[in-house]
């Protein structure tokens, strides 16, 4: 996806999904009732004082310099890296939502149960602010090597590929397992995709100094 558009969550019998894009003043969900409990709600570019209005897992996707957000229980803030400029942020944030939906609903080869496993991972950390990066597969191993050795305490590595190079996937997983020996603090998933570029998405929580 290379253009900004109004995102629509796919109809799905298992997951109740909501997307709030404050930069477009757009809200869409795959449940009929505005007040239903949801499984996951994505918030793109929300005001700093915006709080979730219903129960569920909430992911606030923000620029790197958004540091004043108040977060309630089961809400986490996903930061862009500083190299994502204000001009690039909106498209980047929409790409993050699309990749997460693909990890949740796509052809996952590792048996990754998105909502429960990711929520359990994030609940283990005392830090509710997370950094997320996604890069073309050509840069995936370099990013993994740099981040695995950077003092992170929790991570989720997600590979998206039309051919699913398992040797590369295994090397990257091994890198993180060497630096994060507690298996409950590291998740990995691999999705076969029908279209789009091969890429890696990496979500990390830095250990407090």
The one-digit pLDDT tens for each residue of the chain (209 residues) are: 689 999 999 887 788 999 999 999 999 999 877 677 899 999 999 999 999 989 999 999 999 999 889 898 899 999 999 999 999 999 999 999 999 999 888 887 766 688 888 989 888 887 778 999 999 999 998 998 888 888 788 999 999 999 878 889 999 999 898 888 787 889 999 999 988 899 999 999 875 54
Residue 129 half-sphere exposure toward CB, CA atoms < 13 A = 14
**pLDDT on residue 208:** 53
Domain edges within the chain: 17-206
pLDDT for the residue numbered 209: 47
Topology of domain 17-206, CATH: Rossmann fold (3.40.50)
What pLDDT score does 90 carry? 97
Dihedral angle computed from the Cα positions of residues 141, 173, 117 and 11, in that order, rounded to the nearest 10 degrees:
50
Q: Minimal CA–CA distance to 131: which of 107, 165, 154, 100? A: 154
What pTM was estimated for this model as a whole? 0.92
The pLDDT of residue 20 is: 97
Task: Check residue 114 and give its pLDDT.
Answer: 81
Q: 131, 127, 105: which is closest to 39 by C-alpha? A: 105
Helices (H), the chain: 86-105, 114-123, 140-148, 166-179
Q: Which residue, among 114, 112, 183, has the nearest Cα to 154 in the 3D structure?
A: 183
């Amino acid at each position: 996806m290379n253009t900004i558009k109004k995102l629509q969550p796919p109809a799905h019998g298992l997951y109740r999904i909501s997307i709030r894009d404050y930069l477009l003043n757009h809200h869409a969900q795959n449940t009929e009732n505005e007040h239903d409990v949801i499984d996951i709600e994505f918030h793109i570019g929300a005001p700093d004082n915006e709080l979730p209005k219903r129960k569920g897992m909430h992911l606030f996707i923000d620029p790197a310099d958004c540091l004043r957000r108040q977060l309630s229980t089961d809400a986490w803030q996903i930061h862009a890296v500083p190299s994502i400029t204000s001009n690039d942020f909106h498209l980047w944030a929409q790409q993050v939502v699309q990749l997460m939906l693909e990890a949740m609903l796509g052809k996952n080869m590792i048996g990754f149960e998105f909502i429960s496993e990711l929520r359990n991972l994030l609940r283990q950390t005392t830090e509710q602010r997370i950094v997320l990066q996604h890069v073309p597969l050509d840069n995936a191993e370099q990013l993994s090597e740099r981040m695995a050795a950077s003092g992170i305490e929790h991570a989720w590595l997600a590979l998206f590929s039309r051919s699913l190079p398992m040797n590369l996937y295994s090397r990257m997983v091994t890198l993180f397992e060497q630096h994060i020996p507690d298996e409950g603090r590291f998740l990995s998933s691999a999705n076969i995709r029908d279209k789009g570029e091969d890429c890696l998405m990496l979500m990390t929580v830095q250990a407090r100094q």
